[in-house]
Amino acid sequence: MLITIAFIVSFFFAMNIGASGAAAAMGVAYGSGAIKQKYIALLLCGLGVFLGSLGGGEVVKTIGSGIIPSSILTIKIVIIILTAAAISLFAANIMGIPLSTSEITVGSIVGVGVAYQALYVQKLLFIASIWVIIPIIAFAFTFVVGKWFLKLKKKYPQVEQGTWQKSFMTLLIITGFFEAFSAGMNNVANAVGPLVGAGLISVTDGTIFGGLFVALGATLLGRRVLETNGKKITNFSPFEGIAISGTGAILVIISSIFGLPVPLTQITTSAIIGIGTAKTGFYIWQKRVVIQLLKVWLISPIFSLVISYSLVKLLLDSDLYTIVAIFSVCLATLGIISLKKTMAEENRSLYEDGSGI
């Protein structure tokens, strides 16, 4: 019974991975107009994800046994890890926010490792440093490319017309598919890695079945995230879209070869912001959708960590005192946030009305 639950939660999580991280891979091609219909973008994404998942074995091994010892991965622990990650990702999908599945999965695993005081800290710190470095590389590269292309367009306005335009559109679809491929190669491990680490499924079978469900999730549930990444951050020309998708795909595939789970959506969105900054200046950073994305990136691994840690203490250790303490801290945090918003509204009212409260 527990094994069945573990697989159900894993494949549910895989579908949400497709809806969140994988669907964002085709957001650039859709946002630039290379692909007009959402369903075509999502179908191509699903195919790319599945093909890429077949080469994701190294990342599966890292998720399964590279962060915490595989010896503590019982069926119950696997269910807790996947449940904590799925809850975090499902909440983000409802809001239409492209969330890093790698961050929340690693956060869930770390929560279990903290509960059992069993973490490969050095490997964890290395992975976390990669999370910071790669998005910065993506932003910097696309920012430079964006500035260069603006100068090129001023000198040769015909570069975005006629045959050039059609060629760019075709190449953009190819790079979008390439990025979806990289999503499958890296992100499928987040759903099946714990199962492999616990010995419930082989690496090969895990990548095949995990890839199928991630592809299904991208095709059926990825519409809102596709819209967020494609339309709500900035507008792209076909060439700019090629730079964004190509940058994300190359960085993620290189990371996957070395078995590193990286935040694909964070990399892609950083590349998008790099292009937007090159075009409009740092004004883009004031847009609410970008600010919201940054907040979610910071909160998501901590959120899943707290959930998995709490589930271990509640369900396996029956440690109610720890649960009460965690609940109290969360309640106090929410209270502080609410108070801060109330004070901001009162200050705004005082400024606008010119009178007291």
Residues 7-17: tens digit of each pLDDT: 999 998 888 88
Residue 57: pLDDT band with limits 50, 70, 90: very high
pLDDT in tens, 70-126: 888 899 999 999 999 888 777 766 665 656 788 889 999 999 999 998 899 999 999
Closest CA to 216 of 13, 59, 4, 78: 13
For 305, residues 6+ apart whose C-beta sits below 8 A from its C-beta are 84, 107, 108, 110, 111, 114
Percent of the chain surpassing pLDDT 90: 33
pLDDT in tens, 163-173: 777 888 889 88
Q: Tokens representing 273?
A: 């912001």
Is 235 strand, coil or helix? coil
pLDDT in tens, 191-211: 999 999 999 999 999 999 999
- Average pLDDT of the residues in 319-346: 72
Burial grade of 126 (CB within 10 A; 0-12, 13-18, 19 or more) = exposed
pLDDT at 182 over 50: yes
What is the residue type of 18? G
The model scores a pTM over 0.85: no
pLDDT at 155 over 80: yes
**Residue 12 Cα distances to 18, 114, 210, 343, angstroms:** 10, 25, 10, 40
